[in-house]
Amino acid sequence: MKPAAVLDASAIHTFLPHRYPFLFVDQVIELEPGSRIVGVKNVSLNEPYFQGHFPGHPVMPGVLIVEAMAQTGGILALYGEEEKRGKLCYFTGIDHARFRAPVLPGDRLELIVTMRKQRRDFWWFDGEARVGGQLCAEAGLSAMVTKDTLPSFRAERS
């Protein structure tokens, strides 16, 4: 049985400015503020990138798996601190990315992100992407929470 969502799609929209087709977190199923988060991306054959990656053998691009981990880390960086509400979290780095197994249409991609270090508005994370418990990708990630907000993003959430 799948765990119930801690954050559903509507709640995720309050943390991330991304929208279809560039939002890669469908729900959050575990969340320890300031420490760890587990997000889920349900990978569908209808994803636009499968038209060209690869025709006849669809595989989720590794760079989008890393982006999904980064978006999940962004939620972790912004969650639970009222002064960060509505701020933007920019992805600033990738270290030691490794791809272990393909992610295919129909897969339920679990995005496990753990906070390694935080200093002021800078965050460092360890990310893993798993399907059915099997490690598909891993990377060190870094991000920065800015003082910026997007006016259209704020208006949409009202």
Q: Which of 13, 18, 53, 57 is catalytic?
A: 53
Identify residue 65 by its one-letter amino acid code.
I
Neighbouring CB atoms inside 10 A of 134's CB total 10
Contact 136, 99 (CB under 8 A): yes
Q: Take residue 155 and report the two structure tokens written for it.
A: 């208006």
Residue matched to tokens 């460092």: 124
Task: Name the DSSP class of 101.
Answer: S
User: In the annotation, is 53 catalytic?
Assistant: yes
Query: How far is the C-alpha of 39 from the C-alpha of 23, rounded, in Å?
Result: 12
Q: What is the SS3 assignment for 143?
A: strand
Contact 70, 100 (CB under 8 A): no
Contact 72, 29 (CB under 8 A): no
Query: How far is the C-alpha of 148 from the C-alpha of 91, rounded, in Å?
Result: 14
Q: Active-site residues: which are they? A: 53
